[in-house]
């Protein structure tokens, strides 16, 4: 941590925002568009590599080995969650939700490795994922229900006088879905990593004698952050399923 | 007042939003515990809902933190 210490304008010995900088590793520039292979791209590729290692670890055996157990655990976890929320209608969307969950989980967990880069701490990455979910769920809703999908914005059993107000609120809440979905993941990741870096600054700043207290705190916070990393991937998958549920099963 | 000082005060005020997240998370876990002690058999089935509620409540507070960070680093 001390290696990255530098004097920043805000008076902290360690700049907690330095870890989020995107740096080009292989600069590529095609027609004025910056397509560089950056450290963000590198960690996405590493994330895919880790997922492939877990899911494609050799021939699958009847009695699973360690890596195969992890893969089966993840599969069971997501398919059980989708069965609970979507029922049988959601089976076709399992590959998408499972891919989304595994990618976010791998990105979050790799971010906990010291000196690594957290892909999901950038709003553009999480917003791209959330926008895909939002556009996809909306298109599926219109394909399955036709124009009747618009009834989603008209809550049933409300007084006719309140209806204009409620429809406006429902429309706004529908269109803030991708924003809240992406900002939730991004803010959790960025806040957590900034907090860890600030506490790491305390450990360095308080020296050999006083640094033990924040160091113990760091251990606890790292545990919490690993929990949050898993939880946010899970919540991202659950909310994707809930949005898909609105599109697939409109009549309850 | 200097603009820099006002920026810092604004960021601090925006971070107050995290108090709401604290109240919300405490509420969720407290109520889950109360419910789980009354009916331990049903506790396990509601655990995913607990995690979902925790994440949703935490996120609203973090929106405030994002506002604070935007004030500090963007303007």
Look at residue A11 and tell me whether its pLDDT is greater than 70.
no
What residue of B is the nearest CA neighbor of A10? B72
Q: Find out whether A143 and A248 touch, Cβ atoms under 8 Å.
A: no
Task: Decide if A188 and B73 are in contact by the 8 Å CB cutoff.
Answer: no
| Closest in B52, B56, B63 to A187, CB measured | B63
- pLDDT value at residue A4: 41
Cα–Cα dist A227/A230, whole Å: 5
Which of B55, B64, B69, B74 should we substitute to test contact with A (largest number of A Cβ atoms within 10 Å)? B55
Q: What are phi and psi of A65, to 5 degrees?
A: -80, -165
Residues of A numbered 112-151 whose beta carbons fall under 8 angstroms of chain B's beta carbons: which are they? none
Token readout for A119 is 């892909």
Task: Decide if B58 and A188 are in contact by the 8 Å CB cutoff.
Answer: yes
Of the listed ranges A111-120, A162-171, A229-238, B61-70, the one predicted with least confidence: B61-70
Going by the DSSP 8-state scheme, the letter that residue A91 receives in this structure is G
- pLDDT value at residue A229: 93
Going by the DSSP 8-state scheme, the letter that residue A36 receives in this structure is -
Stronger pLDDT, A29 or A133, i.e. the higher one = A133
DSSP labels, chain B: --HHHHHHHHHHHHTTHHHHHHHHHHHHHHHHHHHHHH-HHHHGGGHHHHHHHHHHHHHHHHHHHHHHHHHHHT-
> What count of Cα atoms within 13 Å lies in the side-chain half-sphere of residue A208?
0
Token readout for A104 is 């976010």
- pLDDT value at residue A236: 94
Mean pLDDT of A32-37: 86
Cα–Cα dist A14/A8, whole Å: 7
Q: What percent of chain A has pLDDT over 70?
A: 94
- The complex scores an ipTM of 0.76
Look at residue A6 and tell me whether its pLDDT is greater than 70.
no
Centre a 10 Å sphere on the Cβ of residue A157 and count the other Cβ atoms it contains.
Answer: 4
Token readout for A46 is 């590493």
Q: What percent of chain B has pLDDT over 90?
A: 43
Q: What is the pLDDT of residues A88-130, one digit of tens each?
A: 888 899 999 999 999 999 999 999 998 899 999 999 999 999 9
Whether A180 contacts chain B with CB within 8 A:
yes
- pLDDT value at residue A3: 40
DSSP labels, A208-224: HHHTHHHHHHHHHHHHH
Between CA A178 and CA A183, with CA A180 as vertex, the angle to 5 degrees is: 100
For B3-73, CATH number out of 1.20.20.10, 3.20.20.70, 1.10.150.20, 1.10.630.10 equals: 1.20.20.10
Q: What is the pLDDT of residues A177-217, one digit of tens each?
A: 999 899 999 999 998 898 898 888 888 888 888 888 889 99
Look at residue A56 and tell me whether its pLDDT is greater than 50.
yes
Token readout for A243 is 């949005």
- Domain ranges in chain B are 3-73
Confidence of residue A251 (pLDDT cuts 50, 70, 90): low
pTM over cut 0.90:
no
| Closest in A187, A190, A235 to B52, CB measured | A235
Which of B11, B18, B53, B62 should we substitute to test contact with A (largest number of A Cβ atoms within 10 Å)? B62
Token readout for A228 is 């949050």
């Amino acid at each position: 941590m001390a290696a990255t210490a530098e004097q920043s304008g805000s008076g902290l010995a360690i700049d907690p925002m330095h870890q989020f900088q995107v740096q080009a590793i292989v600069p590529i520039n095609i027609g004025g568009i910056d397509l560089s292979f950056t450290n963000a791209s590198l960690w996405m590729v590493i994330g895919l590599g880790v997922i492939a290692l877990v899911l494609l670890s050799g021939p699958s055996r009847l009695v699973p080995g360690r890596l195969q157990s992890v893969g089966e655990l993840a599969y069971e976890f997501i398919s059980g969650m989708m069965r609970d929320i979507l029922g049988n209608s959601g089976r076709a969307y399992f590959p998408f939700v499972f891919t989304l969950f595994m990618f976010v989980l791998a990105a979050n967990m790799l971010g906990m490795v010291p000196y690594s880069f957290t892909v999901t701490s950038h709003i553009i990455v999480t917003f791209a994922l959330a926008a895909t979910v939002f556009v996809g769920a909306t298109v599926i809703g219109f394909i399955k229900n036709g124009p009747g999908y618009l009834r989603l914005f008209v809550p049933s059993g409300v007084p006719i006088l309140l209806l204009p107000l409620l429809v406006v609120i429902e429309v706004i809440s529908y269109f803030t879905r991708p924003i809240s979905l992406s900002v939730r993941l991004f803010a959790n990741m960025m806040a957590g990593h900034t907090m860890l870096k600030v506490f790491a600054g305390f450990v360095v700043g308080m020296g050999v004698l006083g640094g033990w207290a924040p160091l113990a705190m760091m251990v606890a916070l790292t545990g919490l952050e690993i929990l949050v990393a898993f939880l946010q991937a899970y919540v991202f998958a659950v909310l994707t399923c809930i949005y898909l549920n609105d599109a697939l099963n409109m009549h309850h | 007042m200097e603009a820099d000082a006002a920026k810092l005060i604004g960021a601090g005020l925006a971070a107050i939003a995290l108090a709401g997240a604290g109240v919300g998370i405490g509420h969720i876990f407290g109520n889950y515990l109360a419910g789980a002690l009354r009916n331990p058999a049903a506790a396990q089935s509601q655990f995913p809902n607990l995690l979902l509620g925790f994440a949703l409540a935490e996120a609203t507070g973090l929106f405030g933190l994002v506002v604070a960070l935007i004030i500090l680093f963007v303007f």
